[in-house]
Amino acid sequence: MGFSNDQNDKVLITIDAINAELDGINDAVFKDIQTDGEIVTVIYLSSLIDNLTLHRTVIAPLLTNKDDILKAAEVPKKITITSILSSITDGDTIVYFHEKNLFVTVNTYSPPTSSIAQSDAESTVSGPRDVLTESLQTNLSLIKRRIKNTNLKSRDFIIGTETNTKLVVVYMETIVHQENLDRVFKNIDEMDWPGFNDITIVSQIMETHKYSPFTQYHMTERPDFVTSSLLDGRIVIMMENTQGALICPSTFFEFFMSPEDEYNRWTTATLLRCLRFFGFFLTIMLTPFYISALSFHPEILPFEILINLQESRSKVPFPPVIEVLFMELVIEVLREAGSRMPTKIGQTIGIVGGIVIGTAAVEAGLVSNTLIVLVAISALLSFLPPSFTMSNSSRVIRYLFIISAGIFGLYGQMIAFAWLMIHLLNLTSLGTPYMTPLIPRKWSDLMDNVIRLPIHLQKQKKGVSRAMTKKVPPTKGEK
């Protein structure tokens, strides 16, 4: 045992002082325990600690052989009233030995957590099924189970001026680019925000382009995706009480990749990726094109199609742009209402609402048949990207395209498209251009992007993260 009592020489902390600080906290427990020879006071917050854990780690050793607890517990070299209080709010138990005038802290934090379940937001058909949970420890263990390597480093931060939330930055030391890492550390250090309920708030604060409709950091709740990102040299940020991890930097194209692509054959993966990627452009172009074609350039459509369209529109009294906006908003309302209602009712309302509104709106002469089809297709296409934030973005900018098509027709659409392109080109994620690997081009990344080539061609690390080693580094054992 190598503890000394000099912590007491420097500060005078009394039970009363701690008691005064914890006054008004209803679950703060001060328990005096009579052990053989002296009285010991145990202080903890009962809401953070499971009774069984407390009994096993603190009470039982104190009653049987109190030296055991001194061997097992952490004896802080220097203690202050703040450090004691922060240990208590962290879920530790403080044990105070009256005779020795000695404080020790025992790690007893054991809040209830949800079990490792299947992913709802990023479900896949094949591949691992486990998903990150609210517990930071569990999440770290899920990752460390996959990467058994001492190069996997992590650094802790406390963020949130009021909530003191714990945040961990995880990275592979040998692969990650130091400049990226410094940027992340700096961003986190500078964060000045009272409280963090979810890691998406961290992402919003860290983003450089705050006015953009596009999110610049990828958010995932799949440990396998986290692992492959880490091996690529990305930096992963995780926070306690959040079911998800932030991956930075990310690029535009990665929002169209599903973790499942890695487990599929390259042909299937390529087909699906192309669908998702071109679906993004179709979803923002389809209904605006309907507006442009009908209200500005009817001559671009062949006569037969035009006649069909006009026939189906013959009962509709509004201009196409109002018609489209009306129908898109109805779909949006259906989606929002469906997701807010309890699951069982939500589904029913969704189906019934969709069918009823679909047919009734046509018969009532509010919208045309063709438009119902187009809006339904574009709504479906908008849900193709595996990342929910990207599908949200695509739906938002679609309105920009609809309105510009309503004002200037195809010309407006192309102007909006040019805006989208230049905006995407100007975006950066942690200093990395958002449109990598297309512009600036990185050949190594193009192998695994919209088109995924067979796996033996993808030996190199992604250039996006500016990885230090091009190939997978040897483990320490091999050196």
Partner 1 sequence: MMDQTKQLNGYHVVFLVQNVMMGTTLLLLPNLLSSVGYSQWWLPLMFALIANLLLIPMVWLMSQYSAYNLFAIHETLLGKWLGKGINVLLILYLIVLIAATCEGYLELIQVVALQDRTITGPLFIFFLLLVYIVSGGIKSIARFCIISFFLVTWMIYFMKWGITEGDIRHALPLFNFSMQELFTATKNGFFSMAGFELILFYFPYIIHQKKVFKQASLGIWICGILYFITAFVSVMYYSEWQLENVLYPVLYLFNAVKFSFLERVDVIAITLWVFFILSTASAYLWVVKKGIDSIRASENKSHLYIISLIIYIFINIQFPEEFQNKLYERVHFVSYGFMIWPIFLCIIHVLKAKKEGVK
Site of interaction with partner 1 (CB under 8 A):
296-297, 299-303, 305, 404, 407-415, 418-419, 421-422, 425-426, 435, 439-441
Q: Which is nearer to partner 1, 407 or 455 (CB)?
A: 407
Length of the chain: 479
Least distance between partner 1 and beta carbon 421 (Å): 5
Do the Cβ atoms of 211 and 103 come closer than 8 Å? no
**Beta carbon of residue 283, minimum distance to partner 1 (angstroms, whole number):** 18
State which residue, 96 or 434, has the beta carbon closest to partner 1.
434
Q: Name the residue nearer to partner 1 (CB basis): 157 or 408.
A: 408
Compute the least distance from the CB of residue 198 to partner 1, in Å. Answer: 32
Burial 320-348 (b: 16+ CB within 10 A, else e): bbebbbebbebbeebeeebeeeeeeeeee
- Kindly state the smallest distance separating residue 251's Cβ from partner 1, in Å: 14
Q: Which residues contact 92 (CB under 8 A, 6 or more apart)?
A: 44, 105, 106, 107, 108, 109
Give me the least distance between CB of 159 and partner 1, in Å please: 32
Q: Give whichever of 264 and 378 is closer to partner 1, judged by the CB atom.
A: 378
Count of helix runs (H) and strand runs (E) in the chain: 18, 11
Nearest approach, Cβ of residue 282 and partner 1 (Å): 15
Give every CB contact of residue 243 below 8 A, 6+ residues apart in sequence.
131, 132, 133, 134, 221
Contact 175, 231 (CB under 8 A): yes
Minimal distance, residue 248 CB to partner 1, in Å: 22
CA-to-CA distance for 291 and 407, rounded, in angstroms?
10
State which residue, 305 or 360, has the beta carbon closest to partner 1: 305
In the numeric block, which tokens belong to residue 428? 């950066």
Cβ closer to partner 1: 232 or 445?
Answer: 445
Q: Report how far apart the first and last C-alpha atoms of the chain are (Å, whole number).
A: 36
Which DSSP string corresponds to 44-59?
EEGGGS-HHHHIIIII
- Choose among 256, 283, 268, 267: nearest CA to 449: 256
441, burial (CB in 10 Å: exposed 0-12, middle 13-18, buried 19+)? exposed
Closest separation between CB of residue 252 and partner 1, Å?
12
Return the SS3 of 276.
Answer: helix
Instruction: Write down the least CB distance from residue 305 to partner 1, Å.
Output: 7
- 72 or 422: whose CB is closer to partner 1? 422
For the bound state, the minimum distance from the C-beta of residue 442 to partner 1, rounded and expressed in Å, comes to 12
Per-residue tokens: 169: 């930055």
Nearer to partner 1, 195 or 440 (CB): 440
**Which residue stretches of 11-65 are H helix?**
15-21, 51-54, 60-64
How far does Cα 36 stand from its chain's mean position? 52
Minimum separation from the CB atom of position 411 to partner 1 (A): 5
Comparison of 214 and 296: residue with beta carbon closer to partner 1: 296
d(CA 335, CA 331): 6
Q: Do 384 and 271 form a contact (C-beta atoms < 8 A)?
A: no
How far apart are alpha carbons 378 and 354 in whole angstroms? 15
- Looking at residue 134, its amino acid is E
∠ CA 433-438-440, rounded to 5°: 50
Nearer to partner 1, 300 or 333 (CB): 300
* Closer CB to partner 1, 16 or 299, in the complex: 299
Query: What one-letter code names the amino acid at 225?
Result: F
